[in-house]
């Protein structure tokens, strides 16, 4: 049972006096506190530290945590150069990289990014799958690739990843098509369903697709992306956590919390309430939880990190058969 955190690489999660260079120290602090992974997200919307740059800074500063993307958007980058960069990160981290990918979705965080990257929005899912297939070919030593969208002949040898075949690649998304594609070809599943029951249903579909492709259930890591805010103590107002998470939702997505909760997993409240809700997802099958901390400055991020760290033993125990 792995539990990690999403580092706040976007300026919307920094206070006016925060230094983004302190993100590396926050990552080290999370590792010392017992978290098993550090993830970063990826977009061109708003000022932020670029995802792969952040992971490159964390690689020599940490020892054992998984370093991951949640989720990397391959359409923002040239595919061969991205394969080289990811192989280099896997090598420099000693095989600690996990690459969750996504194709984006309609609206502010989707179509404009394709336009900025000069990549067609149409058939984005097929293009995503083909990009991942290209990466795996290059990581395995293949020098050519001939697909529908991407065609390369005689690619010079590139950096070999630490692990043969390269880092595991996970897929975000929970549509029926995404579940089937995850089971057939990806190494992990990183959705964010608001209801644990939907997680369980989706995971069954992923495993059925995996079995249909001749794969074992253990070939696909069942992960979960969830936003967390803990507000506890004798003087805590039950509404404080929701107000803080509402401010986070508006700053990050430009939408109120009540709208965000309809599309993403969000857990707020006392430590007991957060623990119980996370355990519901564990009972539904999640085995790698990536928690985004609902705070808008690095001091508050550190506070939330410590609060969540106190729950690690109980949530991990819930994942032991």
**Per-residue pLDDT at 235:** 64
pLDDT tens-place string over residues 248-263:
999 998 999 999 999 9
Average pLDDT over all residues of the chain: 94
pTM score of the predicted model: 0.96
Extract the tokens encoding 169.
């690649």
pLDDT exceeds 80 at position 236: no
β strands within the chain, DSSP E? 2-6, 37-40, 66-72, 97-101, 145-146, 151-152, 169-171, 188-189, 221-230, 266-269, 288-293
Extract the tokens encoding 26.
């926050």
**Per-residue pLDDT at 320:** 84
**Per-residue pLDDT at 287:** 98
Q: Bridge-partner residues for 288, per DSSP?
A: 2, 223
Question: Alpha-carbon distance 70 to 61, whole Å?
Answer: 20
If one counts the domains in the chain, the total is: 1
What is the domain range of residue 176? 2-318
> Helical H runs in 174-237?
176-185, 196-212
Q: Any idea which of 175-184, 208-217, 235-244, 307-316 has the lowest mean pLDDT?
A: 235-244
Report the CATH number at residue 60: 3.20.20.30
Task: List % helix, strand, coil for the chain (3-state, nearest 5).
Answer: 45, 15, 40
**Per-residue pLDDT at 307:** 97
Extract the tokens encoding 179.
């579940």
pLDDT tens-place string over residues 69-111:
999 999 989 999 999 999 999 999 999 999 999 998 777 767 7
Extract the tokens encoding 181.
């594609």
Question: Alpha-carbon distance 290 to 135, whole Å?
Answer: 24
Question: Mean pLDDT across the stretch 15-41?
Answer: 98
Q: Bridge-partner residues for 290, per DSSP?
A: 4, 225
Task: Report how far apart, in Å, the C-alpha atoms of 201 and of each of 181, 225, 277 are.
Answer: 15, 16, 17
Whether the link from the prior residue into 137 is cis, omega within 30° of 0, is no
């Amino acid at each position: 049972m792995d539990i990690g955190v999403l580092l706040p690489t976007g300026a919307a999660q920094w206070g006016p006096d925060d230094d983004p260079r302190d993100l590396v120290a926050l990552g080290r602090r999370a590792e010392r506190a017992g978290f098993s992974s550090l993830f970063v997200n990826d977009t061109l919307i708003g000022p932020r530290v670029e995802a792969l740059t952040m992971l490159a800074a964390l690689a020599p500063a940490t020892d054992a945590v998984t370093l991951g993307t949640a989720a990397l958007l391959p359409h923002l980058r040239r595919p061969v150069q991205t394969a080289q960069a990811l192989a280099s990160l896997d090598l420099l981290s000693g095989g600690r990289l996990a690459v969750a990918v996504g194709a984006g979705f309609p609206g502010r965080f989707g179509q404009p990014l394709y336009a900025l990257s000069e990549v067609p929005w149409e058939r984005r899912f097929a293009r995503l799958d083909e990009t991942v297939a290209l990466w795996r070919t290059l990581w395995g030593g293949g020098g050519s690739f001939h697909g529908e969208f991407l065609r390369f002949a005689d690619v010079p040898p590139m950096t070999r990843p630490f692990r043969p075949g390269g880092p595991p690649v996970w897929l975000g998304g929970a549509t029926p098509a995404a579940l089937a594609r995850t089971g057939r070809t990806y190494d992990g599943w990183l959705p964010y369903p608001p209801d644990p029951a939907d997680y369980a249903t989706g995971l069954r579909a992923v495993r059925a697709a995996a079995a249909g492709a001749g794969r074992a259930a253990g070939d696909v890591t069942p992960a979960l992306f969830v936003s967390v805010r803990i507000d506890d103590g004798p003087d805590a107002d039950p509404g404080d956590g929701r107000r803080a998470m509402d401010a986070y939702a508006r700053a990050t997505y430009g939408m109120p919390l009540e709208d965000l909760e309809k599309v993403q997993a969000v857990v707020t409240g006392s430590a007991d309430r957060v623990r119980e809700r996370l355990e519901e997802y564990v009972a539904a099958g999640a085995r790698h939880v990536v928690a985004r901390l609902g705070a808008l400055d690095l001091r508050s991020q550190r506070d939330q990190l410590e609060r969540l760290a106190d729950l690690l033993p109980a949530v991990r125990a819930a994942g032991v058969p």
